[in-house]
Amino acid sequence: MSIEHVAKQFTAAIRADDAQAYRAMWADDIVSIEPHEGEGSRTEGREALLAKHAWWEANAEMHGFTAEGPYVHGNQFALRFSMDVTMQGERVQAVEIGLYTVRDGKIAEERFFSDAGA
């Protein structure tokens, strides 16, 4: 499976909010890296990432979401996410970049970059 095919398939699943489809694309040893330090900044393995997603779903109220891309280079692709979300009673508009590394047709790493502001 080409990187372009993986990137397009994953992006379509994200846009459709099809968790079963995009989770099927994770490698069992997937690593997820957030743009902050401390607890939750690095998650390793499918089960830990499922727990991270469960926490997000329990704590974030999404009002709007878009995913632009994918932008492909080598064995990686990037998506630009825009979110309108309420967390801990605060509604914010957030933008982040997700950089995905593909190995053997599966997503082996996801790394997120946050908007540092201007």
pLDDT single digits (tens) 94-107: 999 999 999 999 99
Which of 99, 112, 79, 113 lies closest to 8, judged by CA? 79
Does the structure show a pLDDT above 90 at 111?
A: yes
Q: What pLDDT, in 10s, does the model give residues 30-79?
A: 999 999 888 889 999 999 999 999 999 999 999 999 999 999 999 999 99
Contact residues for 68 (Cβ-Cβ < 8 A; gap 6+) = 79, 80, 81, 82
Domain ranges of the chain: 3-114
| Exposure on the CB side of residue 79, measured as CA atoms within 13 A | 24
Q: Which pLDDT belongs to residue 15?
A: 97
* pLDDT value, residue 34: 94
Q: In degrees to the nearest 10, what's the CA dihedral of 87, 30, 47, 11?
A: 60
Class of domain 3-114: alpha beta
pLDDT score of 118 more than 60: no
The pLDDT value recorded for residue 39 is 85
Q: Rounded mean pLDDT of 13-25?
A: 96
My answer on whether omega of the bond before 35 falls inside 30° of 0, hence cis, is no
